[in-house]
């Protein structure tokens, strides 16, 4: 008899640097619907490796908001407990000649004037010759960057989204460890997705440009590449630069005017999963869920007279 297929594993991975806002809750809802509608396991990974911005209080508040909305998970992991694995990956990359010490300031990088796809400046590769071996890692107090291989990545997104293919030209060599010794999202996300056995990544389109770089790093570390799907974002109504509704309406404020079913119903209609914002729990959306119903374009949202409004 063939061995039973292992269930797929999905994750929702919020950064715990602030309260949950409507965009966080929509991302969680879509991730949950994707996982539960496929019988997959769902891991909640609290991404707290930035010690200046992340706090346990924000992590607890995000968990409380998800539970309130009706979203559950099978395992909860905390990214900062993975330091040994993150260091292990750095050692491996250093031993393979892939790491170098970078002492460039932000102003120096800006002066090179190479636009990056995320709206910032691309690292120009100034320090590439300053390779760091595995035995030099502990004593190095400069920032560490990854020497990305040349060439295109065949990055696929299930939604058909056109992903950046050349991470070097899109963003430049990524920072993997900062001067203060903390590791970056670019490294931690790849290592943790592998430890957590993640086979599907569902996340907002604001992260789509990071995917090719993450796949390049998976290949350098001999880690498997999950399937990716990027979904719509909730955006503020105005402004050339598309800002997320970050913190502008925190869950604490939302729950004063919305019940969980009401807010879930609003999110579902914003995402195109139901016509009207009728109250519904996440579980009520499961049986009819399919990505073909999910709106593909970003939705603009206003906070008007204490209510969320589309448009
Ligand atoms: N922690 C990241 C964020 O909240 C998301 C990580 C990911 O989904 O890859 O923006
Ligand atoms: Zn440099």
Tokens linked to 177:
């460890």
**End-to-end alpha carbon distance in the chain:** 55
What confidence category does residue 165 fall into, taking pLDDT thresholds of 50, 70 and 90? confident
Atom of ligand 1 nearest to the CA of 189: 9
Atom of ligand 1 nearest to the CA of 203: 8
User: What are the tens digits of pLDDT across the range 276-295?
Assistant: 999 999 999 999 899 999 99
User: What are the tens digits of pLDDT across the range 175-226?
Assistant: 999 999 999 999 999 999 999 999 999 999 999 999 999 999 999 999 999 9
Q: Which ligand is nearest to the CA of 201?
A: 1
Give burial (CB, 10 Å; 0-12/13-18/19+) of 235.
Answer: middle
Atom of ligand 1 nearest to the CA of 14: 4
> What residues contact residue 192 under an 8 Å CB cut-off, 6+ apart?
13, 45, 77, 79, 82, 85
Instruction: Using DSSP bridges, classify how beta strands 175-177 and 200-204 pair: parallel, antiparallel or unpaired.
Output: unpaired
CA 112 – CA 123 distance, rounded (Å): 8
Q: Are 62 and 16 in contact (CB under 8 A)?
A: yes
> What residues contact residue 26 under an 8 Å CB cut-off, 6+ apart?
234, 267, 270, 271
Ligand 2 centroid, distance to 109 Cα (angstroms) = 8
CA 95 – CA 90 distance, rounded (Å): 9
Q: Which ligand is nearest to the CA of 188?
A: 1
pLDDT at 252: 93
> What residues contact residue 190 under an 8 Å CB cut-off, 6+ apart?
89, 214, 217, 218, 221, 223
Q: Is the dihedral of CA 87, 91, 97, 103 positive or negative?
A: positive
The answer to which of 105-114, 153-162, 265-274 has the lowest mean pLDDT is 153-162
Dihedral of the alpha carbons of 112, 118, 119, 123, in degrees to the nearest 10: -10
Residues flanking ligand 1, CB < 6 Å: 13-15, 47, 189, 203, 207
Ligand 1 mutation target, pool 189, 190, 244, 246, most atoms within 8 A of CB: 189
Phi then psi dihedrals of residue 46, to 5 deg: -85, 110
Percentage above 70 pLDDT, the chain: 96
What confidence category does residue 311 fall into, taking pLDDT thresholds of 50, 70 and 90? confident
Ligand 2 centroid, distance to 98 Cα (angstroms) = 14
Ligand 1 mutation target, pool 31, 47, 186, most atoms within 8 A of CB: 47
Q: What is the pTM of this model?
A: 0.95
Q: Are 26 and 251 in contact (CB under 8 A)?
A: no
In order of their start, the domains of the chain are 9-73+232-310 (3.40.50.620), 83-189 (3.90.800.10)
Helix (H) or strand (E) holding 95: helix 83-95
The mean pLDDT of the chain is 93
pLDDT at 248: 66
- Using DSSP, state whether 75 is helix, strand or coil: strand
Atom of ligand 1 nearest to the CA of 12: 8
């Amino acid at each position: 008899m063939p061995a039973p297929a292992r269930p797929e594993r999905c994750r929702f991975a919020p950064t715990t640097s602030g309260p949950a806002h409507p965009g966080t809750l929509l991302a969680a809802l879509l991730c949950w619907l994707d996982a539960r509608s496929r019988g997959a396991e769902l891991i909640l990974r609290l991404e707290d490796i930035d010690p200046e911005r992340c706090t346990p209080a924000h992590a607890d508040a995000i968990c409380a908001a998800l539970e309130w909305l009706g979203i559950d998970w099978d395992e909860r992991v905390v990214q900062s407990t993975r330091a040994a694995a993150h260091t292990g990956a750095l050692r491996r990359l250093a031993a393979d000649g892939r790491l170098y010490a970078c002492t460039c300031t932000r102003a120096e990088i800006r002066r090179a004037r190479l636009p990056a796809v995320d709206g910032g400046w691309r690292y120009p590769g100034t320090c590439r010759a300053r390779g760091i071996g595995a035995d030099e890692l502990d004593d190095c107090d400069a920032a560490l960057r990854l020497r990305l291989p040349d060439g295109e990545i065949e990055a696929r997104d299930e939604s058909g989204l056109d992903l950046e293919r050349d991470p070097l030209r899109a963003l430049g060599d990524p920072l993997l460890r900062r001067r203060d010794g903390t590791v970056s999202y670019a490294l931690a996300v790849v290592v943790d997705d592998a430890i957590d056995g993640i086979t599907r990544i569902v996340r907002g389109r604001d992260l789509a440009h990071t995917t090719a770089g993450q796949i390049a790093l998976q290949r350098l570390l001999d880690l498997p590449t999950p399937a990716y799907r990027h979904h719509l974002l909730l955006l503020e109504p105005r402004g050339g630069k598309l800002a997320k509704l970050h913190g502008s309406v925190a869950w604490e404020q939302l729950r004063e005017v919305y019940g969980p079913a009401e807010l879930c119903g609003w999110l579902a209609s914003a995402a195109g999963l139901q016509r009207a914002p009728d109250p519904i729990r996440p579980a009520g959306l499961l049986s009819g869920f399919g990505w073909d119903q999910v709106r593909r374009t970003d939705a603009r949202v206003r906070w008007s007279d204490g209510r969320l409004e589309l448009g």
